[in-house]
Amino acid sequence: MSEREVITTPAAPAAIGPYSQAIRARGVLYCSGQIPLDPASGELVGGDDVAAQTRQVMRNLGAVLEAGGSGWARVVRCSIFLADMDDFQTVNAIYAEAFAGMDPPARATVAVRTLPKHVRVEIDAIALTDD
């Protein structure tokens, strides 16, 4: 295996810019931020509903984690980007479902002015792998 491996999966949206879905390097998986796009169509999911958007983001991120040989239990750090901090409680509750029954990772949550495609939420992750 090379020192740096690009991870891609059709189960998550293709990159919409000059970046990879994830990079695996020396036993660590660095997942790019996921937004609520349908992997098959590339279309936005959830309209303006932050709960529906967050569920799609978590599905997309879970698919990238799996493709990279990891999973929610191996996530060590996440970042959540919100277009509106008033969405914090809704996003937090859905995010917490992925870590039910386990110690959650370290995390930062920040409000930003805008996100790609004007979505309401984006989440990235860093996780361990067996490499």
- Global pTM reads 0.96
C-alpha neighbours within 13 Å on the C-beta side of residue 6? 7
Mean pLDDT of 50-77: 98
DSSP per-residue codes, 66-127? HHTT--GGGEEEEEEEES-GGGHHHHHHHHHHTTTTSPPPEEEEEE-S--GGG-SEEEEEEE
Map out the domains of the chain with their CATH numbers. 5-128 (3.30.1330.40)
Give me the torsion for CA of 3, 35, 123, 69, rounded to 10°.
-40
Residue 77 pLDDT greater than 60, yes or no: yes
Q: What pLDDT is attached to residue 130?
A: 85
pLDDT at 1: 53
Share of the chain above pLDDT 90, in %: 94
